Structure 1
Amino acid sequence: MGTVLDSHFLALTAIVTVVYQFIFFVITALFKIDQVTDFAGSTNFVILAVLTLVLNATWHFRQVVLTLLVVVWGLRLGTFLLMRILQWGEDRRFDEMRQNLVKLIVFWTFQAVWVWTVSLPLTVVNASDGGGSLKPADVIGWTMWVFGFLIEAAADQQKLSFKNAPENRGKWCDAGLWRYSRHPNYFGEMLLWWGIFVAASPVLEGAEYLVIFGPVFLTLLLLFVSGIPLLEASADKKHGHLGAYRFYKKTTSPLVLLPRGVYGNLPRWCKEVFLFELPFYSSNLPEEADI
Structure 2
Amino acid sequence: MLTDTDKEFLSLTATFTAGYQLFFFLIAAVFQFDKLTDFAGSTNFVIIALLTLVKKGSWHLRQVVLTAMIVIWSTRLALYLFFRILRWGEDKRYDRMRHNVGNLAVFFIFQGLWVWTVTLPVTVVNASDKDPSIQAEDIIGWIMWFVGTIVEILADKDKFSFKNSPESKGKWCEIGLWKYSRHPNYFGDILLTWGYFVASLPIIEGAEWLVLIGPVFLTLLLLFVSGLTILEKSGDKKFGNVEAYRVYKKRTSPLIPLPRSIYGNLPYWFKAVFLFEFPIYNLQSKDKTEVEFVLPYLWIHEFVDEVLKLCWRVSDGGK
Query: Does the pair score TM above 0.5?
Result: yes
**Which ranges of structure 1 fall in alignment gaps of 5 or more residues?**
none
Any conservation in 2 of the 1:122–1:196 contact (CA below 8 Å)? Answer: yes
Equivalent position SS for 1:202: coil
Any conservation in 2 of the 1:17–1:112 contact (CA below 8 Å)? Answer: yes
Partner of 2:12: 12
Partner of 1:106: 106
Give the superposition deviation at 1:202.
Answer: 0.2
Equivalents in 2 of 1:37, 1:164: separation in Å?
22
Equivalent position SS for 2:201: helix
The residue type equivalent to 1:100 in the other structure is N
Give the superposition deviation at 1:129.
Answer: 2.1
Cα distance change on mapping 1:93 and 1:289 into 2, 3 Å: farther
CA-to-aligned-CA distance 1:262-284 (integer Å, 9 cap, x gap): 1111111100000110111122x
Provide runs of 4+ in structure 1 moved above 3 Å: 286-291
The residue type equivalent to 1:252 in the other structure is T
Give the superposition deviation at 1:130.
Answer: 4.6
Partner of 2:73: 73
Equivalents in 1 of 2:126, 2:46: separation in Å?
13
TM-score for both structures, normalised by structure 1? 0.97
Partner of 2:222: 222
Partner of 2:255: 255
Partner of 2:303: none
CA-to-aligned-CA distance 1:125-177 (integer Å, 9 cap, x gap): 00012532110111111011100000001000100001101111221100000
Give the superposition deviation at 1:289.
Answer: 8.8
Cα distance change on mapping 1:167 and 1:127 into 2, 3 Å: same
Where do 1:178-197 residues align within 5 Å? 178-197=178-197
Give the superposition deviation at 1:290.
Answer: 7.7
Give the superposition deviation at 1:33.
Answer: 2.0
TM-score for both structures, normalised by structure 2? 0.88
Where do 1:25-104 residues align within 5 Å? 25-104=25-104
Equivalents in 1 of 2:29, 2:277: separation in Å?
37
CA-to-aligned-CA distance 1:45-85 (integer Å, 9 cap, x gap): 11100000000000000000000010000000111011001
Partner of 1:140: 140
Equivalents in 2 of 1:2, 1:198: separation in Å?
19
Partner of 2:317: none
The residue type equivalent to 2:244 in the other structure is A
Matched pairs, number: 290
CA-to-aligned-CA distance 1:17-62 (integer Å, 9 cap, x gap): 0111011101111111221111111110111000000000000000
Partner of 2:296: none
Any conservation in 1 of the 2:268–2:289 contact (CA below 8 Å)? Answer: no
Any conservation in 2 of the 1:143–1:195 contact (CA below 8 Å)? Answer: yes
Partner of 1:210: 210
**Which ranges of structure 2 fall in alignment gaps of 5 or more residues?**
291-319
